[in-house]
Amino acid sequence: MIYEKTAKFRDDFLWGSASAAYQVEGAWDKDGKGESVWDVYTRIPGTTFKETDGKVAVDHYHRYKEDVALMAEMGLKAYRFSIAWTRIYPDGKTELNEAGLQFYEQLIDELIAHNITPVVTLYHWDLPQHLQDLYGGWESREIIEDFNRYCVTLFKRFGDKVKHWVSLNEQNIFMTLGYVTAMHPPAVKSHKRMLQANHIANVANATVIESFKQYVPDGMIGPSFAYGPVYPYSCDPQDILSAENAEDLNNYWWLDVYCKGEYPTFAFKYYERLGIAPVIEEGDLELLARAKPDFIGINYYQTGTVASNPIDGVGPSEVMNNTGKKGTAKENGLPGVFKNVKNPNLETTNWDWAIDPTGLRVGLRRLTSRYNLPILITENGLGEFDQLEENDVVNDSHRIDYLSAHVLACKEAVTDGVDLLGYCTWSFTDLLSWLNGYQKRYGFVYVDREENDEKELRRIKKNSFYWYQNVIESNGEDL
């Protein structure tokens, strides 16, 4: 559908930007904070780009007022950030750390004082290391109670001020990279263990949603899913079937559980045949069916294109482009099921991520038709090299082009009938990319630091800062 005139965004549209504790805060051992699995994992040589870590990150912990002042200057309506579990319960379960609660209370108050809506993520990957050591983290059902205790603490403390909450950030990514490709902690390579841990995470997610309804009945909660809608490479029926396979295994395996409380049939049968389907305990399915999210949070970066893959074909890749050298990503897939291929119609970033604004519209429509829930875009953005030029200029026109095309796609999706609550870019300031260091920049605000040199961590507004300011001011009319 090509529109001559598109609909307008709702008046209370949440023009936002997002971050995560480990990627911005630093202060990794301050004020009673416990160690997370990322504090420990990044000490293992070779795990991250040039051994980068979040010990200092962009020092948001100490500079949050300066950062919020910049958000206010921009006119940002919402700021999505995550709470570090290890600041609240240093060992994940026993003693509550008041200093941790106070830090987030101050941040929330600062945002509200500047008319910025806080959107709080409960879990953005920084699991307390103690729980990993104690019972294997997400592999034990003990985590359900511990995660719920931590979340309820936050609901009780902040529920009167914070009405927008995200439960798990990208469960599909932290499970797949943590337990299949072994690129994230706990760096396990076992599909079976992944599927079991993932089921436990589903139950934990649903438990927390149920608690939320009790403690913050006037709020909204949903997971943030890393959504890559899938295209078939061609109209060869084998490619079409491969795309169906990939949609079920990569997307609906999570989304159907969140929104319908059930695993997709084909995918479950497939895992059963392989003898790796998760063990589901009595009561789990009833809980999953009851605990519906209020919205679907989606992190959208790219679509995937798949073709058929022979039974002796390519398997999961352990090589990722994390250097920014275009063309270094390796082909990967599931033998006999599908393989990921390059889409010849799409440009890619220097990290080989396909640039596809139309894919965002396609995805928003698919989700609306399948689940009919409001959608909040909790992340979308372009990771690129940016240059700090003379007189503190950062001309990131590549980012402006990327974001403006994606906002336009949102507008078209709204015209199509999608109930879109808001759009958060990734990210507000530059920050640490988990596996790609500091050189892969996403922010509207440049932070002057390099991989292993923190310099002064000076904040410098990029050209995109002024562009987004204008987008917000015009409620998305002026792109």
Q: Which residues are catalytic?
A: 379
In the complex, least distance from residue 226 CB atom to ligand BG6, rounded to whole angstroms: 5
Task: Select from 69-77, 206-214, 274-282, 426-434 the region that touches ligand BG6 (CB under 6 A).
Answer: 426-434
What is the DSSP secondary structure assignment for residue 251, as one 8-state letter? I
For ligand BG6, the binding residue among 100, 304, 324, 383 (CB under 6 A) is 383
The Cα 118–Cα 80 span in angstroms is 6
Q: Does 433 bind ligand BG6 (CB under 6 A)?
A: yes
The window from 67-75, 181-189, 392-400, 430-438 that contacts ligand BG6 (CB under 6 A) reads: 430-438
Contact call for residue 299 and ligand BG6 (CB under 6 A)? yes
Stretch that binds ligand BG6, among 195-203, 215-223, 277-285, 429-437 (CB under 6 A): 429-437
Give 154 or 226: the residue with its C-beta nearer to ligand BG6: 226
Give the contact letters, 169-188, x = binds to ligand BG6 (CB under 6 A), - = no: xx--x---------------
199-232 core/surface letters (b: 16 or more CB in 10 A; e: else): bbbbbbbbbbbebbeeebeebbbbbbbbbbbbbb
**Contact by Cβ (8 Å): 126, 118:** no
Q: Using CB positions, name the residue nearest to ligand BG6.
A: 433
For ligand BG6, the closer of residues 20 and 249 by Cβ is 20
Nearer to ligand BG6, 72 or 173 (CB): 173
379 binds ligand BG6 (CB under 6 A): yes
Q: Are strands 14-18 and 445-450 parallel, antiparallel or unpaired?
A: unpaired
Give Cα separations from 142 to 91, 135, 149, 200, 297 (angstroms).
14, 8, 11, 9, 26
* Smallest distance, ligand BG6 to C-beta of residue 228, A: 11
Pairing of strands 230-232, 453-461: unpaired
Q: How far is the C-alpha of 479 from the C-alpha of 475, rounded, in Å?
A: 10
Q: Which is nearer to ligand BG6, 357 or 383 (CB)?
A: 383
Cα 359 off chain centre by: 17
- Looking at beta carbons only, is 105 or 384 nearer to ligand BG6? 384
Residue ranges of the alpha helices (H) in 228-283? Answer: 237-246, 253-260, 265-274
Write the interaction track for ligand BG6 spanning residues 221-260; mark x where CB under 6 A is met and - where it is not. Answer: -----x----------------------------------
Count of alpha carbons within 13 Å of 96, Cβ hemisphere only?
10
Cβ nearer to ligand BG6, comparing 18 with 216: 18
Smallest gap from Cβ 178 to ligand BG6, in A, equals 13
311 by Cβ neighbours in 10 Å (0-12 / 13-18 / 19+) ranks as exposed
Residues 6+ away with beta carbon under 8 Å from 258? 202, 205, 222, 223, 225, 293, 296
Q: Which residues contact 217 (CB under 8 A, 6 or more apart)?
A: none
Q: What is the largest CA-CA distance in the chain?
A: 64
**By the rule CB under 6 A, 207 interacts with ligand BG6:** no
Binding mask 96-135 for ligand BG6 (x = CB under 6 A): ----------------------------------------
E strand spans, 248-399: 296-299, 304-307, 332-334, 338-341, 375-379
Question: Beta 230-232 vs 220-226: how paired, if at all?
Answer: unpaired
Q: Interface with ligand BG6 includes 167 (CB under 6 A)?
A: no
Residues of span 437-476 touching ligand BG6 by CB under 6 A: 440
Which residues are at the interface with ligand BG6 (CB under 6 A)?
A: 20, 23, 169-170, 173, 226, 299, 379, 383, 426, 433-436, 440
